[in-house]
Amino acid sequence: MKNRFTGKLSVALVALALVAVAAAGCKKKEGDAGKGAGNAAPAGKTLKVGAAVVPHADILKFVVPKLKEQGVNLEVVTFDDEVQLNPALAEKQIDANYFQHVPYLEAVVKEKNYQFNVAGSIHVEPIGLYSKKIKSVAELKNGAQIAVPNNPSNEYRALALLEKQGLIKLKPGISNFQATPQDIVGNPKKIKFVEVEAAQLTRTLPDVDGAVINTNFILDAKIDPQSAIAREDAKSPYANIVVVRKGEETREDIKKLVAALQSPELKQFLKEKYGAAIIPAF
């Protein structure tokens, strides 16, 4: 009995030793794999990018195959309320978002103190003045009602477009891309301004003489962007951007995403699908 027990004990000790060696080897490999990885996303990880439905989600879907070839599994995430895309990024529900321009980002960062960086500029959606009642700016009558977005950066953008058309004059010295009708110092036609949530402007359009609306909402409402009676040109400072948490713009998967969105293929896609409604910003 003593010799048989000793033999069993020896076998057990040898087995435990082998398990310990294997575990140490696995731990070493895991440590080696992490060493030098930098900001690269783990292999096989899905890159989640939050986006506006139109055109941002469609643009992202176009580069899904190209990124897959490079080992990046791109998942496009859309929200019913685009305002939630920045909180979702801050809370790490998504890895990046693509729906906003720099003035809007600056305004929300100032308000919420988000730690975000711009990873790349992709496209400009020229904001336009649309109407169901008139065919040109010259037809606007005294006391006409014009609806504008009620968020500060887009409201300034709308008013700046109307100023360029000679309809109003804003007070000088506005440099922070934020203004409201209270900043108008000249209004010869006595235009009445209706401040509306940006996403609701297309629904408001039939009830007013004109509305200044972002292109993404025009496309989403199936309105022809060419029907605008006035529109920004390609010099607009409102490029739509890919935004990430500060420090993550150097991640390999983020860099691949931006490169795909700034490729000649994407530029051609924008031209064929959207024409003058979407202008490349790269």
Burial of 68 (0-12, 13-18, 19+ CB in 10 A): exposed
SS3 156: helix
* CA dist., res. 124 & res. 282, Å (int): 10
Q: Which of 39-48, 158-167, 256-265 has the lowest mean pLDDT?
A: 39-48
Average pLDDT over residues 252-275: 97
* CA dist., res. 115 & res. 252, Å (int): 20
- pLDDT reported for residue 111: 93
Residue 172 has pLDDT above 70, yes or no: yes
Q: Calculate what percentage of the chain has a pLDDT beyond 90.
A: 74
Average pLDDT over residues 230-253: 93
- pLDDT reported for residue 131: 98
Residue 241 has pLDDT above 90, yes or no: yes
More confidently predicted of 19 and 260: 260
277 and 226 Cβ atoms separated by less than 8 Å: yes
- pLDDT classification of 162: cutoffs 50, 70, 90: very high
- pLDDT reported for residue 228: 96
> How does pLDDT run across 60-91, given as a tens digit for each residue?
999 999 999 999 999 999 998 899 999 999 99
- pLDDT reported for residue 4: 41
- Residue 183 CA from chain centroid, whole number: 28
Q: What secondary structure, in 3-state letters, does 39-78 show?
A: CCCCCCCEEEEEECHHHHHHHHHHHHHHHHHCCCEEEEEE
Amino acid at 235: K
Cα separation values, 9 from 17, 19, 53, Å: 12, 15, 66
Average pLDDT over residues 44-56: 91
Q: For the chain, how big is the Rg over CA atoms in Å?
A: 27
Four-residue CA torsion sign, 64, 66, 68, 71: negative
* CA dist., res. 178 & res. 163, Å (int): 14
* CA dist., res. 187 & res. 193, Å (int): 11
CA nearest neighbour of 195 among 152, 134, 224, 234: 152
- pLDDT reported for residue 175: 77
Average pLDDT over residues 246-251: 98
* CA dist., res. 124 & res. 278, Å (int): 6
> How does pLDDT run across 108-159, given as a tens digit for each residue?
999 999 999 999 999 999 999 999 999 999 999 999 999 999 988 899 999 9
The average confidence (pLDDT) of the chain is 86
- pLDDT reported for residue 21: 36
Count the neighbouring beta carbons within 10 Å of the beta carbon of residue 91: 9
Strand residue runs (E) in 150-229: 169-170, 184-186, 192-196, 210-213
SS3 187: coil
- pLDDT reported for residue 31: 36
